[in-house]
Amino acid sequence: MWRRPEWRLLAALLSAALLLVPGRAMPQLEPPELSHRLTPLATPEVAGGFVLEDMDGEQHALQDYRGKVVLINFWATWCPPCVREMPSLERLYQELSDEPFVVLAVNQWENADHVFAFMGQIDVFPSFPILFDPDSEVSEAFGVKGLPTSFLLDRSGRVVYRAVGGREFDHPEILQQIRALLDE
Amino acid sequence: MASVLETSVWRRLVLCLVLVGGFSGAGGEVVHRLNSETGLSSWKAQHEGFSLELIQVLPDYVRAVYASRGLPAEVIERVAGYCVFGTIVRNESDAPLAWRLADWRYIAADGHERRLKPKSEWVREWRELGVAFRWTLLADDQVYEVGDWGQGFITLKLPPGEVFDLHYSWSQHDKTYRGIISQARCAPVDVAAP
């Protein structure tokens, strides 16, 4: 009901305007230091499948990435730690560009217009796929309670690590965890 | 009435002790900061292995956040009518911990203990209004593994500028820990008119 085209445009405009609100109106939601540890799950299970569209309307099925290590990052533009960890996700993606590894940034509730407007405001434009989960069905299936939340899947599609809250994804500790999965 | 007065007097006595000691709750230190650029306050309670930070959020900022999500005016105004804080909760220990918003309480000037309106109630209300949005608010409860943390809005049914004490808790190793952020204050309507 509230996702008609005019709302998409209005949302994009308001989002851009929000980024330009004078400092005094903005709460200081600057988060503390990002963590750099992923939690291993006691009983890894194969992740539920999904098919989501990217910024260009192309469809991505999780199943298509079987055989790769997949980092699924649930995020939104309004979420400060999501924004803060985004450059480290890009650095990680670049660092492992020659490896069977992919980052899927699954945006919550927003749309391509909104995210595109937002991307113009940050330093790093991600080169990994940004997917849209407009009704939060996928995040719900993954049991996400807050943003950002990330899951690391091994090459068999099993969820082996989880991270609640922002991370410095190119930190050596996390790189080591991912490389170990790539070597399996 | 008498019990309310007693509660209030007792609360003030405890508060005086807290202020003198500079500490609050179960061994935690609470630091209040005033951001000179924004004019807004924040309170950070630091315990061993656990921290909780409350950051004032202006009603107009709340409106902007929800309007930019394309939510209807009714949803926006209902939330903006609450005292909203940006909240950051962190597990800084070397073991998992859990917290539950339903266990937290706040006490304002009238001395009554009240619970915070949980995310699940907001989401249910929004659903009844035909809106499937479920973000921006702090979760009802979470288990944080080592290094996990999160943030989101919490909502208190208090007017702008109202002072209150927040009683919060978390659990770890089957033990419940408690803390108090005393004399926190809801954001004013505008920073120019506190």
Q: Taking Cα atoms as reference points, which of A144, A82, A150 lies closest to residue A118?
A: A82
Least confident segment among B10-19, B25-34, B168-177: B10-19
Asked whether residue A47 is domain-assigned, the answer is no
CA distance A127 to chain B (A): 24
* pLDDT tens digits, one per residue of A28-65: 455 557 889 999 999 999 999 999 999 999 999 999 99
**How far A8 CA lies from chain B's nearest CA (Å)?**
7
Which structure tokens are listed for A162?
């989880």
Interface test mutation site (partner A, options B68, B83, B85, B136, max chain A beta carbons within 10 A): B68
Do B91 and A164 touch, CB atoms closer than 8 A?
no
pLDDT 10s digits, B75-129: 999 999 999 999 999 999 999 999 999 999 999 999 999 999 999 999 999 999 9
pLDDT at B146 (0 to 100): 95
Angle at B17 (CA atoms; ends B16, B23), nearest 5 degrees: 110
User: Which range marks the domain in which residue A74 is found?
Assistant: 53-183
**Measured between alpha carbons, how far is A166 from A147 in angstroms, rounded to an integer?**
8
- Cα A131 to Cα B133: distance, rounded to the nearest angstrom: 17
Q: Is residue A6 part of a domain?
A: no
Angle at B116 between CA B110 and CA B118, to 5 degrees: 160
Question: In sequence order, which ranges of chain B are alpha helices (DSSP H)?
Answer: 2-21, 59-67, 73-80, 119-128
pLDDT tens for A89-128 read: 999 999 999 999 999 999 999 889 889 888 888 888 899 9
Confidence of residue B28 (pLDDT cuts 50, 70, 90): confident
CB pairs A-B closer than 8 Å: 126
Is A138 contained in some domain?
yes
Average pLDDT, chain B: 87
Q: Does residue A9 belong to any structural domain of this protein?
A: no
**Higher local confidence (pLDDT), A165 or A22:** A165
Is the pLDDT at A12 greater than 90, yes or no?
Answer: no
Chain A residues within an 8 Å CB radius of B140: 145
The pLDDT-based confidence of A179 (bands split at 50, 70, 90) is very high
Confidence of residue B39 (pLDDT cuts 50, 70, 90): very high
Domains in chain A, number = 1
Q: Looking at the domain assignment, is residue A63 inside a domain?
A: yes
The secondary structure of residue A110, as a DSSP letter, is -
Q: Is A87 part of any domain?
A: yes
Q: What angle do CA A140, A173, A131 make, to 5 degrees?
A: 30
Between β-strands A51-54 and A59-61, what pairing exists: parallel, antiparallel or unpaired?
antiparallel
Contact B151, A149 (CB under 8 A): no
Residue A122 falls inside a structural domain: yes
Q: How confident is the model at residue A17 (pLDDT cuts 50, 70, 90)?
A: very low
Query: Do the Cβ atoms of A146 and B71 come within 8 Å?
Result: no
Alpha helices in B22-132, H assignment, sequence order: 59-67, 73-80, 119-128
Quick check: A143 contacting B, CB < 8 Å? no
Chain B closest-CA separation from residue A80 CA (Å)? 9
Q: Give the residue on A whose Cα is nearest the Cα of B38.
A: A24
Considering only CB atoms, A29 lies closest to which of B55, B72, B135, namely: B55
Contact B131 A24 (CB under 8 A): no
Q: ipTM for the complex?
A: 0.77
DSSP A135-148: T-HHHHHTT--SSS
Here the CATH number for the domain that contains residue A129 is 3.40.30.10
